[in-house]
Amino acid sequence: MKKPLWIKGTIMLAMLSLAACANVQTATTLATAVGEQAGVLSHAEVESIRKSTVAVARSLEDFTPEQEYYIGRSVGAVVLSKYPAYTNAQGNQYLNMLGQTLAAASDTPQIFGGYHFIVLDSNDINAFATPSGLVFVTRGLIRCCPTEDALAAVLAHEISHVQLRHGMQSIEKARMTEALTVLATEGAKTLGSPEVAQLTQTFSGAISDIAKSMINNGYSRSFEYQADKVAVVLLQRVGYNPRGLIDMLTVMEKKLKPGGFDFAKTHPAPRDRIAEIQGDNLSFTPVATPKIRQERFLKAVGNI
C-alpha cells in the first residue's frame, strides 16, 4: 500500500529537525528507525535515506585550513578574471606593507598561505576578501581614501571579513542548502543511486557561486556592519585613526553612482554604515597623523 506523501514528509521533517541539533548521521538513524517501525518507510527507503545522509554529513564537516586556502584561491581567480591586477610595484608593495601590519594585529594573524594584498586596475569602487586571505582593492576605491588612515580602514574591513569567516559561512550555507533541497524533494520517494550521486556532487559549483555572489551581490548588511566594527578595533590596535573609516565612507558617498555595479550595489549605503558606526557610540581616541605617514601615502598611491 502506497504511503501518503504527507506522512513521509513528516518523517523527513523530523529527520532534518533532529539533524539540525545533533549529529546528522545519528539523528537520521533514529528518525528512520522510527519511520520504519511505524510502517511509513520501507527498509529500502530507510537505506537510501541513510546513504544520502552520508553526503550531507560530509557537507557539515569543518573545512581544513588547506581547503579554505584552495577555495579562496579559486574565488580569487574568478575576481581576477573580472578585474585585472594593477601592475604597479610601488602601489602593491605599499598596500602589502599596510595590510600585513594590520593582519598581524588581527585575531587571525596566521592563516594557511598567509595574507596577500593586490591592487585591481579598475575605476570601479570595490574591494573583495577571499577566505584564504587574498584581499583585492580597486584603484577606484583607493581614490576614495584621502589619507593612509582611510586606506588602512579599507584593508582592516576586508581583513575583518576573513577573520569572521564571512566567505566560508556563505559557502557552507550554499552547500547545506542544496543538499537539504535534494533531501526534501526526493525524500518523499525512494532515493536511488542517481539522487545519492547528486548529493555527493551538489557542491561542485559552490566556489563559482560564492564568487559571483561576492562580486555581484556582496555580503549581507549584518556581515558588513560586523566587519566595520571589527575594523575600528583593529585600527585602534595598530595606532591608526579609526575615523579614517568614516572619512573614506564620506568620500565614497559623493563618488558612488546610484544603480552602479560596485559598492553601490554590493554594500549598504555609506551613510547607513556611518550611522551604524556612530550609533554604537564607539570611543575614538584622537590620533595625530604623522607627517611622514601622509607623505608616504601620497608618494605610493597619490597618482593611482
Written in H, E and C, the secondary structure of 81-136 is: HHCCECCCHHHHHHHHHHHHHHHHCCCCCCCCCCCEEEEECCCCCCEEECCCCEEE
What pLDDT does residue 174 have? 60
pLDDT at 202 over 60: no
Cell output for 35: 519511520
What pLDDT does residue 220 have? 83
List, as own/partner pairs, every contact residues 42-45 make where C-beta atoms lie below 8 angstroms and the sequence separation is at least 24, other chains included.
Answer: 42/190, 44/190, 45/8, 45/190, 45/191
Question: Are the beta carbons of 268 and 224 closer than 8 angstroms?
Answer: yes
Name the helix (H) or strand (E) containing 182: helix 166-186
Query: Measured between alpha carbons, how far is 53 from 271 in angstroms, rounded to an integer?
Result: 46
Q: What is the pLDDT of residues 136-170, one digit of tens each?
A: 999 999 999 999 999 999 999 999 999 999 888 77
For residue 276, give the nearest of 239, 223, 240 by alpha carbon.
223
Domain range list for the chain: 5-62+181-203, 65-167+214-301
pLDDT at 298 over 80: yes
What pLDDT does residue 280 have? 66
pTM attached to this predicted model: 0.73
Spatial CB neighbours of 266, under 8 Å, sequence gap ≥ 6: 126, 214, 215, 216, 217, 218, 219
pLDDT at 172 over 70: no
Question: Are the beta carbons of 120 and 137 closer than 8 angstroms?
Answer: yes
What pLDDT does residue 185 have? 56
Q: What is the pLDDT of residues 264-297, one digit of tens each?
A: 666 788 899 999 888 866 556 667 788 999 999 9
Please, what is the Cα angle at 294 between 290 and 299, to 5 degrees? 145
What pLDDT does residue 3 have? 47
Query: Measured between alpha carbons, how far is 167 from 304 in angstroms, rounded to an integer?
Result: 28
Cβ neighbour number for residue 216 with a 10 Å cutoff? 11
pLDDT at 115 over 50: yes
Q: What is the pLDDT of residues 218-274, one digit of tens each?
A: 778 889 999 999 999 999 999 999 999 999 999 998 988 776 666 666 678 889 999
What pLDDT does residue 7 have? 45
Average pLDDT, whole number, for the chain?
77
Query: Measured between alpha carbons, how far is 263 from 23 in angstroms, rounded to an integer?
Result: 40
Query: Measured between alpha carbons, how far is 186 from 115 in angstroms, rounded to an integer?
Result: 42
